[in-house]
Chains A and B, each alone.
Chain A
Amino acid sequence: MNQVFVVFLYGLATALATGLGAVPFAFARRVSPSAIAYANAVASGLMLGASFGLVAEGTDYGSWQTVLGALSGVAFIRLTQVLLRRHDLEFGKVRGGGARQMLLMLIVMTVHSFAEGVAVGVSFGGGMTLAFVIVVAIAVHNIPEGLAISAVLRPRGMSVAACAGWSIMSSLPQPIMAVPAFLLVDAFTRVLPYGIGFAAGAMVFLVLEELLPEAFDRARRPHVALVVSLTLVGMMVFQRFL
């Protein structure tokens, strides 16, 4: 089979794995209002952990580039946020602030998939020997990302199936970006730290600007803090063993 096609297929498989993140929500019977606080806390821990991992990888390629990328990621999300606030949004029967948060979450995670797709392509560029291991690792690593997305969408009224669908959608840039990155490894290796930083900056900003303040408003501080730090540690361990 054509190698380019293989890279694309592998990338697609990893995107589909993201949908699995919605599965735990199929077992939660009812979504209570305080659930938003804890779901936000879970998403925050997962995204902070993922960003720590990304930044650690990005600084291997270049620290300045990673940090510059992160600042542009922050600026991008801030701009999107301002633009979204200007409109009365409706998203999946949800209106107003909730709809804005859901959209922002999807935008951030989709943007982050672009960077991850580049990372996948570049790592394949080193040769196809480790390809299968890398694919399994990325696929498993995408599940908590689907979990984070569903944690934001589900308590605001999205159905489990729709959560899974949107999770997969947000990961589709991965196979799309993996192919050009695989073909043009040298060019993409140079932009990789910027892209990784961009993704990490966007995620951390969303966590600090939208998810955490709301979580602290809706539940007791020690509980929120406990959920965030436990998920963050869990995510770090998870990434490191894969």
Chain B
Amino acid sequence: MDPTFVVLIYSVGAASVSGLGAVPLMVRARLPLSWIGWSNALAAGLMLGAAYALMVMGLERVTGAEMLGALIGIGFVYWTHAVSGTADLDLNRLEETSPVYGYKVLLSDTLHASAEGVAIGVAMTVSLPFGAFMALAIAVHNIPEATVLAAILTSRGVRLRDAAGLAVAANVSQVLLAIVSFALITAAPALLPWGLGFAVGSLVYLVMVELLPECYRQAGHTSIALVTIVAMGILVLLVGGGM
């Protein structure tokens, strides 16, 4: 099978899984705030674990390019947030009803998904098993993230079905960026360390700017720290198991 097609299948899978994020809202129409906090923490832990995995992959091929790639990754997300006016955006305001806020949340989730797309694409160029692992990690991470987005959308009057659809749609950029970065690095393998660095930098920055600050106000510090660490630990076990 054409490798680009494999990347397409995996990244489409990861993106569509986010529809499952609406499931908790079928059980309870209004989620308790602490559940949203734990969803964010789970997403944060998986994302940090993914960054760790990408870092470990880069260990043997350490170059200045990787460090510069990481700086570009951090700078890129910082800059896109600043330009799109989403730098200080609180992504979890259930009571906010202005249409501008809704668009900003969707925009910033799309930007977030793009960085994850690069992570999947880069991991796929390292090896197919590592790429599949990364797609799985991002897919599972997409679920709690979509739960948060769906909770915001439904509290603003969007139907649950549509909220699930929008959560998947916000991740379309993930598929696009996965394929583009895979194709680019396959064509020019010298770009791999840059890509690895970019993915690590952007994932870490996104965790710090979007996921963690929110959840500390939604649930206790201790439970947030525990959920995040356990999620990271699971990925460490998976990476350590012979990737």
- A→B interface (CB under 8 Å): 48, 52, 55-56, 59, 63-64, 66-67, 70-71, 74, 78, 201, 204-205, 208-210, 212-213, 216, 220-222, 224-226, 228-230, 232-233, 236-237, 240-241
Contact = CB atoms under 8 A, between A and B. Distances in A.
Interface in B30-79: 48, 52, 55-56, 59, 62, 67, 70-71, 74, 78
A236 B59 CA distance: 10
Given A56-B55, A233-B204, A63 B236 contact: yes
B74 A222 contact: no
B225 interface: yes
Given A229-B205, A240-B62, A222 B81 contact: yes
Contacts of B52: 52, 55-56
B233 A233 contact: no
Contacts of B205: 225-226, 229
Contacts, number: 102
A67 B225 contact: no
A213 B204 contact: no
A216 B74 contact: no
B213 A221 contact: yes
Main secondary structure of the interface of B (DSSP, over half): helix
Interface of B: 48, 52, 55-56, 59, 62, 67, 70-71, 74, 78, 81-82, 87-88, 200-201, 204-205, 208-209, 212-213, 216, 221-222, 224-226, 228-229, 232-233, 236-237, 239-241
A224 to B, nearest CB: 7
Given A67-B236, A208-B221, 9 more contacts: A63-B236, A63-B241, A66-B236, A70-B236, A204-B229, A208-B212, A226-B74, A233-B201, A241-B62
B226 A74 contact: yes
B215 to A, nearest CB: 9
B239 A59 contact: yes
A220 B88 contact: yes
Nearest to B45: A208
A216 B216 contact: yes
Contacts of A205: 225, 229
Contacts of A225: 205, 208-209, 213
